[in-house]
Copies of this chain bind each other. A is one copy, B any other.
Amino acid sequence: MQPLQLADRVFTSRLFTGTGKFGSVSVMTEALRASGTELVTVALKRVHADDPGDEMLAGLSGIPLLPNTSGVRNAREAVFAAQMAREALETHWIKLEIHPDPRYLLPDPIETLAAAEELARLGFVVLPYVHADPVLCKRLEEAGAAAVMPLAAPIGSNKGLKTFDFLEIIIAQSRVPVVVDAGLGAPSHAAAAMEMGADAVLVNTAIAVSEDPVRMAQAFRMAVEAGRMAWEARLAPVVSHAVASSPLTAFLED
């Protein structure tokens, strides 16, 4: 599997994860380690980096953190949160999330673009969570986003690749990595996102609320690798029915 270059880092794992909804810190830690993830998003508001006993951060030691701006309502708050995160966690990477509505947690395109422009100008590596809107993704790229993170389905819904037709366009057009975020509820969904050419996926809920998060994390890890390998090997085309066998199958045939 080819490594992923994102901004100035190289990733062996194409499975990004989060820290929400786990039943305990120890389960979370074990699951994230099992996932092989090399980037874990964490809500700034929940981090107490100056607290040496912060159990969560201790458990994740060694795995790079990606602070996110979850909870902010507009661009101004997002920029402020990113600056706080930079200080607290000593990283200029930021997952930009602006979803004012508490019910669906869907991202606001206007505020997100405004914040991305400002944060890029301030030297951040900006990874914006957005609707699967090809025009918005292109504008975010032009504004200096290091990647785009379009959603597959409403966050937490586990519905899978509901935005397939738009992700296809986003992937075809993008010159920055495309990380499919939100709504991937099963390893098969993550594999399918990779098979269509996504550069990475972010999975949180589907791992955290499984009956066995550690095993589910392993399953997602393998599925992401499988999907990426399939993309590299090129999928067989979808056809309306079986085609006649090739000459070789005169003696090799199933």
Could you list which residues of chain A lie within 8 angstroms of chain B, going by C-beta atoms? 18-25, 28, 41-43, 45-46, 56, 68, 70, 99-101, 103-110, 113, 131, 133-136, 138-139, 153-159, 162-166, 168-169, 185-189, 191-192, 195, 204-206, 209-213, 215-216, 218-223, 225-227, 229-230, 232-243, 245-246, 248-249, 251-254
| Given known contacts A169-B106, A192-B186, A226-B219, A156 and B239 CB-to-CB distance under 8 angstroms | yes
Q: Which of B28, B210, B243 contacts A235 (CB 8 A)?
A: B210
- Kindly state the separation between the CA atoms of A103 and B156 in the bound complex, as whole angstroms: 33
Given contacts A185-B236, A210-B234, A215-B233, 12 further A-B contacts (CB under 8 A): A43-B253, A46-B252, A100-B135, A103-B242, A104-B242, A107-B135, A108-B135, A109-B133, A157-B242, A188-B223, A220-B226, A222-B222
Contacts of A110 in B (CB 8 A): 109-110, 113, 136, 139
A168 to chain B: closest residue by CB: B240
Are B131 and A252 in contact, CB atoms less than 8 angstroms apart?
no
Check A25 against B252 for contact (C-beta < 8 Å).
Answer: yes
Chain B residues in 8 Å Cβ range of A186: 191-192, 195, 230, 235
Query: Bound state CA distance, A139 and B218, in angstroms?
Result: 38
Task: Write out the residue numbers on chain B whose beta carbons fall within 8 Å of the beta carbon of A133.
Answer: 106, 109, 131, 133
Across the interface, do B254 and A185 meet the contact criterion of CB distance under 8 Å?
no
Residues A21 and B230 in contact, CB atoms below 8 Å apart: no
How near does chain B come to A161, taking the closest CB pair, in angstroms? 9
